[in-house]
Homo-oligomer: A and B are copies of this chain.
């Protein structure tokens, strides 16, 4: 299957200096693929000098005159920058010139533009942001990581269906187990939305495990963890902050004295191997799930390796038919609106 990925070459903290070399590496490791680099022509061409002809033949440069700023209000980016690299890249997916789009730009703008241009899949009210996180057992697909701060029970069920489809596609799990993120105390088990979502999930036909708590994510209790975007965003950022703090504490201990520096030298291969195992670059690439097109968001600060992983993730979602799988999951589910009509009353 020949896949073309549209890359927003201008997005992220480093722009073409990262996005172009990452695209080249992706093309090298993925035969039968093409990349459309979207952005300011000069900046991109500069990075394409000395690229071998065979590789160059699989690259198209598509000029776009504007760039969405990292801190630009999404509504402004959507309304005013019709020729931004982000928007043009998404347009390429819409018109079928590319099967997926990858950007390291402004998340809010990417979501707003993708939603406006591509629209959501049938049965999906709003898209969600999904990502894989490392667990003791492998990895878990977690969503929503920040697109929807307030969610209805029906939306949480849609997230579950989409997460299930993504886990099947990317992790090759036939019937992924679904956990609904909740709190543990018996008397306060969840707010009303989570309680109703659990009821709906039990009747959804999905492989619903039940409620899970925060520590279950990294324990790998379920293949998919579903939550609203407020909780998911706090969870993800908290994890980043904690990992960063622990890393700094460990570093501080190993650099405390000549003796501990010697220990660090001896332990270096072990510590490197540990660091590789939880390298966030391995997990780079969050999927904007629920759109009529594959859109992957890279971390803004990603380097060549990280951004390359985001492109590879977009590619895998196309070849593994994530969109079709979502449509299939949704089609076999009992109508959510009917199911919830009773609970709402």
Contacts and interface: CB of A to CB of B under 8 A. Distances in A.
A254 interface: yes
Contact of A188 (B146, B239, B254): B146
A184 to B, nearest CB: 7
A271 B264 CA distance: 10
Nearest to A247: B246
Interface residues on A, range: 35 or more
B183 A149 contact: yes
A214 interface: yes
A319 interface: no
A231 B227 CA distance: 11
A42 interface: no
A185 B235 CA distance: 14
Interface string A195-218: 000000000000000000111111
A108 interface: yes
B241 A218 contact: yes
B183 A230 contact: yes
A146 B185 contact: yes
Most buried by B among A73, A183, A248, A274: A183
A181 B187 CA distance: 24
A186 B260 CA distance: 43
Nearest to A192: B150
A278 interface: yes
A254 B241 contact: no
Nearest to A150: B191
A249 B269 CA distance: 14
Interface in A230-245: 230-231, 233-245
Contacts of A74: 185-187
A217 B238 CA distance: 7
A63 B34 CA distance: 77
Contacts of A262: 266
B187 A108 contact: yes
Interface of A: 71, 73-75, 107-108, 111-112, 134-136, 146-150, 181, 183-188, 190-192, 213-219, 227, 229-231, 233-246, 248-250, 253-254, 256, 260, 262-264, 266-267, 269-271, 273-274, 277-278
Closest 7 CB pairs of A and B: A214-B237, A215-B241, A214-B238, A218-B241, A183-B233, A267-B267, A218-B245
Given A135-B245, A183-B229, A214-B240, 8 more contacts: A146-B183, A146-B184, A146-B188, A213-B234, A215-B241, A216-B237, A219-B244, A253-B273
21 contacts: A108-B186, A135-B245, A147-B188, A149-B191, A150-B191, A214-B236, A214-B240, A215-B241, A217-B238, A217-B241, A218-B242, A231-B231, A235-B235, A235-B238, A243-B246, A246-B278, A253-B270, A256-B270, A263-B269, A266-B266, A267-B270
